[in-house]
Structure 1
Amino acid sequence: MSEPVVETGHPEVDAALARLAELDGVETGEHVAVYEDVHQRLVETLTGLDR
C-alpha cells in the first residue's frame, strides 16, 4: 500500500498526484499510462504559470 498523497494546496497539482493512488493493485504494465498522465498534467500546470 502506498503512502497517502499530501495535498499541496494547488488543485491542479493535487488532482494529478491523486492519480498515483490508482497504482495500488494495478498490474505493473499499466503503471506507465498513469505516470504519463500525471507527468502531462504537471507539465501543463507548470506551463500555465508562464502565461
Structure 2
Amino acid sequence: MSESVSEPLAEAVAESGSEYDPAAPAPLNVPRTPTGHAEVDAQLERLADADHLATDGHVEVYEDVHRGLRDALTALDARPGPPAPPAQHGNRS
C-alpha cells in the first residue's frame, strides 16, 4: 500500500479505535452533480448504496440504476412534443 493512502487510513483507524479491514466496504466519495431531472438525480443518489456493500453487491445496485436511467430515457421518448419536420428526400443543390 502506498504511504499516501496508508497514513490517513492509519490515523482514521487509530481515531476510531477499531482495526482496519481492507476487505470491508469503503465509500468511494465520488461527487454526484445534480442534473435537474428528479428521476435521474434519484438514480444517481442510489449509486451511493454501493458504498456500503461488499463488491459482490455492487452489481445489483448498478443494474437497478441502469434500469432506472433507461426507464427515464424511455419516458422522455414517450412524451408528446412538437411534430417532426417532414423528411426531405433527394439531393437538392
Counterpart of 2:45, as a letter, is A
Q: Residue 8 of structure 1 corresponds to which residue in structure 2? A: 35
Q: Residue 67 of structure 2 corresponds to which residue in structure 1? A: 40
TM-score (norm 1): 0.90
Counterpart of 1:24, as a letter, is D
Larger helix proportion, structure 1 or 2? 1
Counterpart of 1:16, as a letter, is Q
Question: How many residues of Structure 1 are paired with residues of Structure 2 in the alignment?
Answer: 51
TM-score (norm 2): 0.52
User: Runs ≥4 in structure 1, deviation > 6 angstroms?
Assistant: none
Q: 2:54 aligns with which of 18, 27, 46?
A: 27
Higher relative contact order at CA 8 Å, sep ≥6: structure 1 or structure 2? 1
Q: Where does structure 1 lack aligned partners over 5 or more consecutive residues?
A: none
Q: Residue 17 of structure 1 corresponds to which residue in structure 2? A: 44
Q: Where does structure 2 lack aligned partners over 5 or more consecutive residues?
A: 1-27, 79-93
Q: Which has the larger radius of gyration?
A: 2
Counterpart of 1:12, as a letter, is E
